[in-house]
Amino acid sequence: MSEKSITRRDFLKGSAAAVATASAGRAMAQGTGSPASRRPSLVRAAIIGPGSQGTMLLGQAVKIPGVKFVAVCDIYDPHREKALKVAEGAEPYTDYRKMLERKDIDAVVIATPLYLHAPMTIDALNAGKHVFCEKMMAYTVDQAKAMGRAAKSTKKILQLGHQRHANEGYHHAYRMINQDKVCGKVTQIKAQWHRNGSWRRAIPDPAYEKLLNWRMYKEYSHGLMAELGSHQIDVVNWFLNAVPISVMAAGGIDYWKDGRSTYDNISVIFEYPNGVKCVYTSITTNEHEGYTEEFMGDQGTLIVNPDKGLLFREPKADSLVWAPLAHKDASKGKDAIILDAGATRKDREKSEGEAITSAKKNDYYEELVEFFDCVRTGKEPRCNPQVALNACVPCIMANKAAETGKKIKLTPKMYEI
Amino acid sequence: MTEGRVPTGSEGVEMLRYGHTAMACRFEIAAFGRDRQYMVDAAEEAFRAVDRVEEELSVYRAASEISRINALAATRSVRVSPPVFRLIERALVLSGLTQGAFDITVGPLIRLWGFFEGRGRNPGQEETGQTLKLTGRERVLLDADDFSIRFDREGVEINLGGFGKGYAVDCAAETLLECGLREALVHAGTSTVRAVGAGPGGGGWRVGIRHPRRTGERWGEMTLVNESLSTSGDYEQFFEGGGRRFGHVLDPRTGWPADGTMSASVVTASAADSDALSTAAMVLGQKSFESLDFGGLPVRAVFITQGDIDEREIDYPA
């Protein structure tokens, strides 16, 4: 079987299921489903690693009807204490294994440093818990595959935290590129996450430096590619219905000489099937470009991020029938169609029909609503182990390519759970 | 707003001033320490906390918890996160302590008077009376067992306004403390400031109270040690009609603009509380405010009324 057929099949299957589960999840979340769905059965949950990201997730999860957080686990006292204010009444733990022994816990949210994702997720699955694990999936490719296999063998839900799958704007952009073909044939992608700052947490006690600034150290994290880039490679994979077949990269610790061992900048070229390239950069010294994914085709360019999408048609492209109905914005000296206007009149009517509850939602809230919905129904989450592995492999290999200075071929076997 | 000098005898200590725009105003942190980059990292962490508060509390963010409550709570109970629930609960407690002079349900009245649009109008007694039925802390029903909130009728809304901004200042200050900064000042716009520590030199942070009629001038100064100061004034937004000046601070009990006090400044421990209490002080005036029972909460207040200002010096904006 060719690389292309494996990846296309896997992805098309994944995305078709995604659209269906998305609607069901939303109906439940908004209380617009059947009377039974308005009173979902109680799911008892726990969190491991409520640091900055974990506490934010916890803050969203505690709002979900039918979910009760009964335990929080962290070895760092201030984080655990803060989490107990968000999940009032939960029991505190410092040993996650002890917490997992509790029979009344149905689901666990894991937001620990990257290198702990796999052992904790596998332990939780084996303890009979459903797991929502933050991105990136795992520290090594083998670990990520083991997580996928553990989910399958235990028949438990494993959802990973690439929350763009919970953003309706991205689904809209996917349809515009893949069904409406607003960009024509997509040949090139440019994506970046540019910040201007140390990306370092201010830690008062140096004893906790590596525990809390784990993103800075190679033995715990893959730095920018894992923590930022994996979100965007996930989107590129999703939109292209493909995975990268090779990667080359250059990176360095060139500005922040503060003892870190993960790169403070990296520039990567991912090669996809049929000659499509994705140029990806992540830097920490300039935030002018922020974070976007830009899909360039022979008919147009679509620029997306979680808040907004802009479509620029090529001068030679025919005008779109629905373009006069769309909202427009001047950007980069050109007229852009704002994505949220809807590709069709039908889309616009639908969004108006959803009235107030269709107002902009929080992606973290929505991904967790989906997770707990999957826990109840047994449905496959959109960001399932295969989708997450497909983002994990290229990001780990991008760092390896930068370290070795070599172009690395990414084989279909690497993406097989 | 404050003295920005590094005290003598503090070699290696420098001052950082770091700004961030959020909640429609400029937040600023002034901190003293020996490691500038560390202070920058801590300040950025504090501003991330402010941004998270804005995401949860702003009525201008469609996905915020407050927007969700306002959209749905008249028809069903809305479950919110415990921290937001506790904040709303605190706002209702402060409303009770101030006998309704501070009220997070005052939004429909502010809209009626045109202050949301930035141009005032006098709606008259009848319309005001009708709108008063939509306000008051009794309109908000809390269920602490489920952390859910419900309104008792259609048309009710909550807006944490300055109270939310004060809470954001608290969150920023607490983040700085968690990061180990012991001497810092956080302010949102110029209406609320929280002092961490006793300031450079240890004698307290000297914070100015603006002159209610002279832009850019100080009327006085207060010294803060681990305290917050909020000032509410009739100069922030107002309109004039029928020979009367109507300030944007409405008395939630009558539905009419508060009258008689030019500015009220309140000092207490938390910035959320000082923000709420300065609004209440502005509404109640000195005598009524001083007669309140704050249930042991240490509160200091400074009022500026017409009698305190030499009318010949008043510099009304054009």
The answer on pLDDT for A46 being more than 80 is yes
pLDDT attached to residue B11: 73
Tens of pLDDT along A116-143? 999 999 999 999 999 999 999 999 999 9
- Asked if the Cβ–Cβ distance from A357 to B71 is below 8 Å, we say yes
> In this structure, are B182 and B287 located in the same domain?
yes
> What values do phi and psi take at B292, rounded to 5?
-75, 155
Distance CA A252, CA B201 (A): 43
> In this structure, are B176 and B46 located in the same domain?
yes
Tokens of A346: 């039908």
> In this structure, are B114 and B236 located in the same domain?
no
Q: Are A262 and A223 in contact (CB under 8 A)?
A: yes
> Following DSSP, what letter does each residue of A155-175 receive, concatenated?
T--EEE--GGGG-HHHHHHHH
Kindly state the percentage of chain A with pLDDT values over 90.
Answer: 76
Tokens of A186: 């997509």
Tens of pLDDT along B146-162? 999 999 999 999 999 88
Of B59, B50, B14, B281, the closest CA to residue B187 belongs to B50
Of A242, A227, A311, the closest CA to residue A273 belongs to A242
Q: Which of residues 200-229 of A touch B (CB under 8 A)?
A: 200-205
Q: How far is B123 from chain A (nearest CA, A)?
A: 29
Domain boundary among B159, B174, B198: B159
Q: What stretches of A127-229 show up as alpha helix (H) in DSSP?
A: 141-154, 168-178, 209-212, 223-224
Delimit the CATH 3.40.50.720 region(s) of chain A: 3-165+363-385
B317 falls within a domain: no
Of B243, B81, B211, the closest CA to residue B149 belongs to B81
- Asked if the Cβ–Cβ distance from A204 to B82 is below 8 Å, we say no
pLDDT attached to residue B6: 57
Contacts of B38 in chain A (CB under 8 A): 202
- The b/e string for A153-184 (b: 16+ C-beta within 10 A; e otherwise) is ebebbbbbbbbbbbbbbbbbbbebbbeeebbb
- Asked if the Cβ–Cβ distance from A359 to B76 is below 8 Å, we say no
Quote the mean pLDDT of chain A.
86
pLDDT attached to residue A360: 57
Distance CA B173, CA B196 (A): 7
> In this structure, are B114 and B241 located in the same domain?
no
- Asked if the Cβ–Cβ distance from B71 to A356 is below 8 Å, we say yes
The answer on pLDDT for B182 being more than 50 is yes
> In this structure, are B109 and B182 located in the same domain?
no
Contacts of A24 (CB under 8 A, 6+ apart): A33, A373, A377, A379
> In this structure, are B174 and B149 located in the same domain?
no
- Work out the pLDDT band at B173, boundaries 50, 70, 90: very high
> Following DSSP, what letter does each residue of B240-284 receive, concatenated?
EETTEEEES-EETTTTEE--SEEEEEEEESSHHHHHHHHHHHHHH
> In this structure, are B48 and B79 located in the same domain?
no
Find the residue in A nearest to B46 (Cα): A202
Give the pLDDT mean for A291-320.
91
Query: With an 8 Å Cβ cutoff, is A42 touching chain B?
Result: no
Find the residue in A nearest to B61 (Cα): A360
Tens of pLDDT along B53-71? 999 999 988 889 999 999 9
Provide ipTM, 2 decimals: 0.85
Q: Is B269 exposed, middle or buried (0-12, 13-18, 19+ CB in 10 A)?
A: middle
Of A17-21, A329-333, B44-48, the one with minimum mean pLDDT is A17-21
Angle at B161 between CA B155 and CA B162, to 5 degrees: 155
B191 falls within a domain: yes
The answer on pLDDT for B78 being more than 90 is yes
- The b/e string for B8-47 (b: 16+ C-beta within 10 A; e otherwise) is eeeeeeebbebebebbebebbbbbbbeeeebbbbbbbbbb
Give the pLDDT mean for A338-363.
46
> In this structure, are B201 and B88 located in the same domain?
no
CB atoms within 10 A of CB A9: 12
Find the residue in A nearest to B178 (Cα): A204
> In this structure, are B273 and B193 located in the same domain?
yes
Which residue in this structure is represented by tokens 């439940």? A28
Comparison of pLDDT for A18 and B171, the residue scoring more: B171
B44 falls within a domain: yes
Domain boundary among B100, B126, B159: B159
* Sign of the four-CA dihedral A64, A379, B62, A56: positive
From the list A52, A198, A202, the residue facing B179 with the nearest CB is A202
How is domain A168-355+393-409 classified at the CATH fold level?
A: Dihydrodipicolinate Reductase; domain 2 (3.30.360)
- Asked if the Cβ–Cβ distance from A197 to B45 is below 8 Å, we say no
- Asked if the Cβ–Cβ distance from A59 to B81 is below 8 Å, we say yes
Delimit the CATH 3.30.360.10 region(s) of chain A: 168-355+393-409
**Total residue length of chain A:** 417
> In this structure, are B242 and B119 located in the same domain?
no
CATH number of the domain to which B192 belongs: 3.10.520.10
Measure Cα distances from A308 to A15, A293, A301 in Å: 21, 11, 14
| HSE-CB of A204 using CA atoms within 13 angstroms | 11
- Work out the pLDDT band at B318, boundaries 50, 70, 90: very low
The verdict on pTM exceeding 0.90 is: no
CATH class belonging to A3-165+363-385: alpha beta
B7 falls within a domain: no
Query: With an 8 Å Cβ cutoff, is B41 touching chain A?
Result: yes
Q: How far from chain centre, in Å, is Cα A8?
A: 20
- Asked if the Cβ–Cβ distance from A31 to B81 is below 8 Å, we say no
Size of interface A-B (CB pairs under 8 A): 63
Q: Are A193 and A291 in contact (CB under 8 A)?
A: yes
Domain range enclosing B30: 14-57+162-306
Distance CA A302, CA A145 (A): 33
Domain boundary among B110, B143, B159: B159
